[in-house]
């Protein structure tokens, strides 16, 4: 069955960087677009970024454009999110999700930006 | 930027029909999806492409999308359906979520 396991979250100071990973299994990773979605504590879902199945197309929410970079390694079945210049408002649970309908989601990894 | 608007809360009695709306400019021209999220859990897709149900989602969940409004309908609502529900749609190449609706079954 489809499994998505996020990792790399933690506590980081404002202005610093962090890289999240999402390990995928149970499906042909290289055939599907992948997304990052975040949820601040007690708040709703916010779409962050998407990468096409081949990695050639990437799109971002305005709130993270220029600071975050989505990438993937199809040989490792892994999705990444490089987060730079982190702000307090980036504090959230970060989920990876599979395919155009976001049909499958991981359990999330928590990022806390605080001094 | 594109916005989707949902009512913050909807209440329904067990066995009755719950309707949750999602409004956006010309939303009917886009595909809408709906996600259910229970406390402490990851979201679950319950409707995609306006009105399709993924495998394993009960038939009591249905969707429609026309004009400026998409609607999630839960027929014969059960206590287990109490959750937050989010709509989502494409905007050019990006995605947008609605603010979420808390469904209370009482």
pLDDT per residue as tens digits for the range A61-77: 999 999 999 999 999 99
What's the Cα-to-Cα distance from A33 to each of A10, A98, B75, rounded to whole Å? 26, 7, 32
B49 pLDDT above the threshold of 90: yes
Inter-chain touch B35–A106, beta carbons under 8 Å: no
Query: What is the chain A residue with the closest CA to B100?
Result: A44
Give the whole-angstrom CA distance, residue B76 versus residue B104.
14
Average pLDDT on B67-96 reads: 95
Inter-chain touch B33–A102, beta carbons under 8 Å: yes
Q: Which of A29, A9, A52, A21 is nearest to A104 (CA)?
A: A29
Nearest residue, CB atoms, A47 vs list B42, B49, B94: B94
Matching residue, tokens 């290289």 = A30
Distance from CA of B4 to the nearest CA of A (A): 12
Mean pLDDT value across chain B: 96
Give the whole-angstrom CA distance, residue B5 versus residue B8.
9
Q: How many residues appear in chain B? A: 106
Inter-chain touch B99–A50, beta carbons under 8 Å: no
Contact list in B for residue A107 (CB cut-off 8 A) is 42
Average pLDDT on B18-36 reads: 97
Q: Cβ of B41: how many Cβ atoms within 10 Å? A: 12
Structure tokens belonging to residue A74: 């199809």
Q: Which of B45, B27, B102 is nearest to A104 (CA)?
A: B45
Phi/psi for B36 (5° steps) reads -105, 135
B51 pLDDT above the threshold of 80: yes
Average pLDDT on A33-48 reads: 97
What's the Cα-to-Cα distance from A39 to each of A48, B32, B67, rounded to whole Å? 10, 20, 29
Sequence-distant (≥ 6) Cβ neighbours of residue B2 within 8 angstroms = B24, B25, B89, B91, B96
B92 pLDDT above the threshold of 80: no
CA-based max dimension of chain A = 40
Nearest residue, CB atoms, A101 vs list B42, B45, B84: B45
Interface probe with B: pick from A101, A104, A110, most Cβ of B within 10 Å: A101
Structure tokens belonging to residue B11: 């209440």
């Amino acid at each position: 069955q489809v499994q998505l396991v996020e990792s790399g979250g933690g506590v980081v100071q404002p202005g610093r960087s962090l890289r999240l990973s999402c390990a995928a299994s149970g499906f042909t990773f290289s055939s599907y677009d992948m997304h990052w979605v975040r949820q601040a504590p007690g708040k709703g879902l916010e779409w962050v970024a998407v990468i096409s199945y081949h990695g050639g197309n990437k799109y971002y929410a305005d709130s993270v454009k220029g600071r975050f970079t989505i990438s993937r390694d199809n040989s490792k079945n892994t999705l990444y999110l490089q987060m730079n210049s982190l702000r307090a408002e980036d504090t959230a649970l970060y989920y990876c999700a599979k395919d155009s309908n976001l049909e499958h989601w991981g359990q999330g990894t928590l990022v806390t930006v605080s001094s | 930027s594109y916005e989707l608007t949902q009512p913050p809360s909807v209440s329904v009695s067990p066995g009755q029909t719950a309707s949750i709306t999602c409004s956006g400019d010309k939303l009917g021209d886009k595909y809408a999806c709906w996600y259910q999220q229970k406390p402490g859990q990851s979201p679950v897709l319950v409707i995609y492409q306006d009105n399709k149900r993924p495998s394993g989602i009960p038939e009591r969940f249905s969707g429609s999308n026309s004009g400026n409004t998409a609607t999630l309908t839960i027929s014969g609502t059960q206590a287990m359906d109490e959750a937050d529900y989010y709509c989502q749609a494409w905007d050019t190449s990006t995605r947008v979520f609605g603010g979420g609706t808390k469904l209370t079954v009482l």
